[in-house]
A and B are shown apart, each in its own frame.
Chain A
Amino acid sequence: QKEVEQNSGPLSVPEGAIASLNCTYSDRGSQSFFWYRQYSGKSPELIMFIYSNGDKEDGRFTAQLNKASQYVSLLIRDSQPSDSATYLCAVNDYGQNFVFGPGTRLSVLP
């Protein structure tokens, strides 16, 4: 059974701080990794994807991948109240299988 684990939270950070979200996965065959943001009552929205070990930056978001440790993280710099949402981690094996974690609820406090 392929599994993706995340802390359910809530993770609370003050406005302007760095939010750090973590994800571990069980399948060493996983090749691509995704972070989705889901606002309450809405569908998931892709915010980052990463394929290679190391860091990938896009604006205030940085995804970090360590395949040896089977670990992927998302850093959100200068967190804003509008970043308050549930963040879903997903992994893919280059086939049709996407496995999602349960999500981490982030609360950014003004």
Chain B
Amino acid sequence: DGGITQSPKYLFRKEGQNVTLSCEQNLNHDAMYWYRQDPGQGLRLIYYSQIVNDFQKGDIAEGYSVSREKKESFPLTVTSAQKNPTAFYLCASSISRAGVTKNIQYFGAGTRLSVL
């Protein structure tokens, strides 16, 4: 079954704690993305990666970190520096080759993070 798997579905963070959200895809997509969505708001880009061992900051990268050691995996760490982490986190992937007309972005089911 091809798709994007995010885990856990729900996550709770204690003050001062780092937490890591998992994202795995078996679509053979080159690009992977992390978005944050607050209630009633649109999607804001945190980080994206086009190839292994390379990633770029999005609009709201402060307080977050990522790694891309494998094509299939793009974990997001929410660090203690992120003072307001409560949100819905969405991982997405796309083919992302330049000039590809059907560069469609697909989403995982999301992780809902709350602060204890």
Contact = CB atoms under 8 A, between A and B. Distances in A.
Interface of A: 31-32, 34, 36, 42-46, 49, 51, 88, 90, 92, 94-96, 98, 100-103
Interface in B63-110: 90, 92, 94, 96, 98-110
Most buried by A among B90, B101, B108: B101
Contacts of B53: none
Nearest to B110: A43
Question: What secondary structure prevails in chain B residues at the interface with A?
Answer: loop
A101 B109 contact: no
A88 B43 contact: yes
Contact of A42 (B33, B50, B98, B110): B110
Given A42-B110, A88-B43, A103-B42, A96 B50 contact: yes
Contact of B105 (A31, A34, A51): A34
A43 B109 contact: yes
Contacts of A101: 42
A98 B44 CA distance: 11
Contact of A46 (B42, B96, B104, B109): B104
B98 A49 contact: no
B90 A44 contact: yes
A44 B107 contact: yes
Given A43-B110, A44-B107, A96-B48, A32 B94 contact: no
B108 A43 contact: yes
A44 B110 CA distance: 9
